[in-house]
């Protein structure tokens, strides 16, 4: 770990820079404290890593952007990997905070605001984080993976908190984790193609969550009982209301209502695929 006390070399570098500015008539800038300089380097590095994959950013790039020398950067960080991991940790904290939302109003509208902040972050920090999340970055390490995992846990816990269920089932937890993974994959694909407006992607991801929640409730009676309350709080012009109207519109497709009704009302052997597993032998038994 680097010392928090500036070295004589680093001190000379900063004094020389101040003297040079004075000689050229420029107004000398206030010397940064140890903590201020470290925070500045992290902020500059995060900006560079946000715009370019980490393997394309060098210590010289960070030093130049910070108006510092290469030795000064090395005084605060032992190498590029260390400053990358610290920058990512800060970004992870910011991203985790974007999942925090007051527990007021319809559930899908809360999630819509959360996803707006999430996608804004993805848009602002695209190249560097895309490289990491895709697993193709040479800067990926146990430290960087731990940061990403922490963001996923924060998202998972926040969403379950909004559902406000006393004991979320394993099936529901799995559905939430799967949706978070899908949101990552979808947003990264959007970064590479940008084929749809960001607002459309925001709505799409929220509606996918509502669909996943509904499907899970179809398999879990206790969650199904809670689902009525969720839908009762939703508004017609919200994400869930718009999804329900879109699904209802499918029933205008010729033949679809009859096909769905036939599946929903099937009984006996037709409703239970296991009844046909034994073939004719099962019927004899």
What per-residue confidence (pLDDT) applies to 280? 47
Query: How far, in Å, CA of 75 to CA of 73, rounded?
Result: 5
Look-up of token digits 């925090």: 100
* 225 SS3 class: helix
DSSP 232-274: HH--TTSHHHHHHHHHHHGGGSTTHHHHHHHHHT--GGGT-GG
Residues in the chain predicted with pLDDT less than 70, given as ranges, are 1-30, 128-129, 131-140, 267-285
CA 145, 77, 68: angle at the middle one, nearest 5?
125
What per-residue confidence (pLDDT) applies to 127? 72
Query: How far, in Å, CA of 266 to CA of 268, rounded?
Result: 7
What lies within 8 Å, CB to CB, of 143 at 6+ separation is 85
Torsions phi, psi for 269 (to 5 deg): -60, -30
Query: How far, in Å, CA of 119 to CA of 130, rounded?
Result: 13
What per-residue confidence (pLDDT) applies to 131? 63
Tokens standing for residue 183: 């949101």
Report the chain's terminal Cα–Cα distance, integer Å: 74
Closest CA to 34 of 62, 70, 51, 10: 10
* 133 SS3 class: helix
What per-residue confidence (pLDDT) applies to 94? 87
Q: What is the pLDDT of residues 80-138, one digit of tens each?
A: 989 988 888 888 888 889 999 999 999 999 999 999 999 998 888 877 667 666 554 55
């Amino acid at each position: 770990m680097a010392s928090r006390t500036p070295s004589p070399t680093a001190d000379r570098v900063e004094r020389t820079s101040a003297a040079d500015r004075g000689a050229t008539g420029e107004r000398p800038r206030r010397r940064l404290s140890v903590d201020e300089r470290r925070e500045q380097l992290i902020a500059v590095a995060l900006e560079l890593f946000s715009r370019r994959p980490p393997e394309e950013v060098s210590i010289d790039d960070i030093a130049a952007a910070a108006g510092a020398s290469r030795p000064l950067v090395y005084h605060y960080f032992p190498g590029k990997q260390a400053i990358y991991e610290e920058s990512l940790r800060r970004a992870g904290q910011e991203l985790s905070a974007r999942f925090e939302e007051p527990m007021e109003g319809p559930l899908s509208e809360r999630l819509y605001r959360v996803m707006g902040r999430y996608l804004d972050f993805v848009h602002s920090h695209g190249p560097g984080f895309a490289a990491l999340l895709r697993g193709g970055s040479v800067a990926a390490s146990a430290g960087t993976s731990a940061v990403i995992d922490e963001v996923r846990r924060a998202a998972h816990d926040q969403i379950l908190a909004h559902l406000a269920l006393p004991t979320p089932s394993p099936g529901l937890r799995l559905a939430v984790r799967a949706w978070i993974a899908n949101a990552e994959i979808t947003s990264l694909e959007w970064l590479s193609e940008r084929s749809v407006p960001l607002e459309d992607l925001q709505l799409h991801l929220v509606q996918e969550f509502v669909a996943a929640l509904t499907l899970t409730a179809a398999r879990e009676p206790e969650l199904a009982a809670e689902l009525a309350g969720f839908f009762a709080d939703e508004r017609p012009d919200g994400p869930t209301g718009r999804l329900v109207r879109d699904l209802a519109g499918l029933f205008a497709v010729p033949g679809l209502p009859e096909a769905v009704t036939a599946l929903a009302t099937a009984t006996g052997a037709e409703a239970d695929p296991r009844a046909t597993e034994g073939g004719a032998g099962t019927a004899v038994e």
